[in-house]
């Protein structure tokens, strides 16, 4: 078992009443590696100026975490099968909408990885699909979510 810890901190601004619901959603994420990021609600969820545009929002972080986990497993399986990956770039996106109960949820996360290989051994389309399938099956972030996760690899 592994335990992961972060610190999420927010403080009310000096001139914010708070009970009128007009307070800044800007806050801070601190990770055990020493990295600290500015975070906020998404401006599409809480309008400006109560949200902050130059901060990471939880929805973006969920999509990035899913993409990153998939990529790390993909790289692992590619290396095990003898394929040399030169670069991996994913233009991932998530769709936030209401579920059957009217609650907002991330209904779908689409990963669109573009992978470049080098060397004599380059995967066929079937081998590439197999690598992505294995990565998806092992990704513990994907295994933790109710959202549909679609992988649409970019083929050259």
Q: How far from the centroid of its chain's Cα atoms is residue 13's Cα?
A: 29
Q: Pick 156 or 61 by higher pLDDT.
A: 61
Contacts of 44 (CB under 8 A, 6+ apart): 96
On average, the pLDDT of the chain sits at: 96
CA dihedral 18, 21, 27, 29 (to 10 degrees): 110
Q: How far apart are CA 29 and CA 5, in angstroms?
A: 11
Q: What is the pLDDT of residues 108-128, one digit of tens each?
A: 999 999 999 999 999 999 999
CB 39 within 8 A of CB 55: yes
Residue ranges of domains in the chain, CATH in brackets: 1-56 (3.30.300.20), 58-151 (3.30.300.20)
Q: What is the pLDDT of residues 11-35, one digit of tens each?
A: 999 999 999 999 999 999 999 999 9
Instruction: Identify the pLDDT of residue 119.
Output: 94
CA of 97: how far to CAs of 55, 63, 108, 151, in Å? 22, 14, 9, 20
DSSP strands (E only) in 13-145: 27-31, 36-39, 84-90, 93-98, 104-111, 113-118
Residue 5 pLDDT greater than 80, yes or no: yes
Quote the pTM value: 0.93
Mean pLDDT for the stretch of residues 45-59: 96
Residue appearing with tokens 């800044």: 24
Residue 155 pLDDT greater than 90, yes or no: no
Q: Look at residues 23, 121, 14, 112 and name the one whose alpha carbon lies nearest to residue 70.
A: 112
Q: How far apart are CA 78 and CA 126, in angstroms?
A: 13
């Amino acid at each position: 078992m592994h335990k992961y810890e972060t610190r999420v901190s927010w403080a009310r601004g000096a001139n914010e009443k708070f009970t009128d619901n007009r307070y800044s959603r800007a806050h801070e994420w601190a990770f055990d590696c020493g990295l600290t990021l500015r975070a906020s609600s998404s401006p599409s969820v809480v309008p400006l100026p109560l949200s902050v545009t130059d901060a990471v929002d939880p929805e973006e972080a969920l999509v990035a975490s899913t993409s990153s986990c998939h990529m790390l497993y993909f790289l692992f399986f590619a290396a095990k099968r003898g394929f040399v990956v030169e670069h991996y770039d994913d233009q991932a996106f998530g769709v936030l909408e209401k579920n059957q109960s009217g609650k907002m949820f991330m209904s779908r996360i689409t990963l669109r990885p573009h992978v470049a290989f080098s060397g004599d051994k380059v995967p066929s389309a079937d081998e590439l699909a197999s690598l992505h399938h294995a990565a998806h099956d092992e990704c513990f972030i994907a295994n933790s979510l109710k959202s549909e996760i679609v992988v649409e690899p970019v083929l050259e």
